[in-house]
Amino acid sequence: MPEVLFVRLGALGDVLHALPAAASLKRGLRGARLTWVIEPRWKWLLAGNPDVDEIIELNRRSTASVRAAWGALRSKRFDIAVDAQGLIKSALVARASGAPVRIGYARGVAREGLSTLFYTSRVRPAGAHVVEHGLALAAAAGPEQLTIDFPLPSGASEGVLPDGPFVLAAPFAGWKAKQWPLEYYGELAAMLRRHNHTLVLNVAPGATVPEGVAVHTSSLNGLLDATRRAAAVVGLDSGPMHLAAALGKKGVALFGPTDPARNGPYGGTIEVLRDPTAPMTYRRIDEILPCMRALSPQRVFERLLPCLATSSPNPTPTR
């Protein structure tokens, strides 16, 4: 029975993208037992996951947490460690496990080149998307087959949602260059109302939103529940969009400076809308770029309309 250590510390979208790799290791290696090392704030994503036998929490800002994680790692005899993050800190976790086989990304693929020094096997994925990158790591461990699956908890009802059908959007992203102008959501909401749908913005308490939209405030667990219940989604290159894609929701993802081939919604249910003038950059520019302003509410609505025609309002949450 191989003992497998899987390292993906965070964040929301990154953990979601790593789920198929973990599933492939657990289901493809006969009799495997999989332990996942993750930051405490993201462990709820693994609740009830049939592919994860044990969770080790690691908060590197807490000395007590680091010591506890170290003790948990050293108490086991791992056969394989897979680092799906490609940072020095995650590579050190793999090394600390004592696993004789340590798999990670090759130099030029790993986010921090020095992390490659801690691996015994270095993988250069052929696929473009980060989900495929993770699957390439899993394949290097020799599973009988790869599995594309996104097991997620049901979530919990939080905040206020409309009684009728609604479209869910999370209007903020990691940096402003990836965001859609906030006033555009008000225009889109007016178009959706004419088709008996409410636009719901999932935002933090006290956030400024345009008139005509409904507001949903919750924890990430509540966001999961709201996403399951939405008729469709409007997403950005951010964790909530990847959550919707993992759940197989329909909708439209608005992309600007980042590459949808690498970071876009995975699975084919969410259509990407990107203006041809968009530059390709991951610079954290603190302003909304012209390419995002070029995606008019009318264009977004036209792409969204077919999703509404085939959706079921407020479905009962299921796994």
Cβ proximity of 257 and 278 under 8 Å: yes
Quick one: pLDDT at residue 309? 80
How confident is the model over 109-168, as pLDDT tens digits?
Answer: 999 999 999 999 999 999 999 999 999 999 999 999 999 999 999 999 999 999 999 999
Sorted by where each begins, the domain ranges of the chain are: 3-140, 166-309
Identical fold between 3-140 and 166-309 = yes
Give the residue ranges of the chain where pLDDT is below 70. Answer: 310-319
At residue 318, the pLDDT reads 37
Tell whether omega for the bond before 11 is within 30 degrees of 0, i.e. cis: yes
Query: Taking CA 291 as the corner, what is the angle to CA 288 and CA 296, rounded to the nearest 5 degrees?
Result: 95
Show Cβ contacts of residue 300 under 8 Å, excluding neighbours closer than 6 positions. Answer: 184, 188, 234, 252, 254, 273
What pLDDT, on the 0 to 100 scale, is given for residue 78?
Answer: 98
Contacts of 64 (CB under 8 A, 6+ apart): none
Q: Which fold has domain 3-140?
A: Rossmann fold (3.40.50)
- pLDDT for res 317: 39
Q: What's the CATH number for 166-309?
A: 3.40.50.2000
pTM, two decimal places: 0.92
Give the CA dihedral 191, 193, 195, 199, nearest 10 degrees.
Answer: 80
259 burial via Cβ count (<10 Å: 0-12, 13-18, 19+): middle
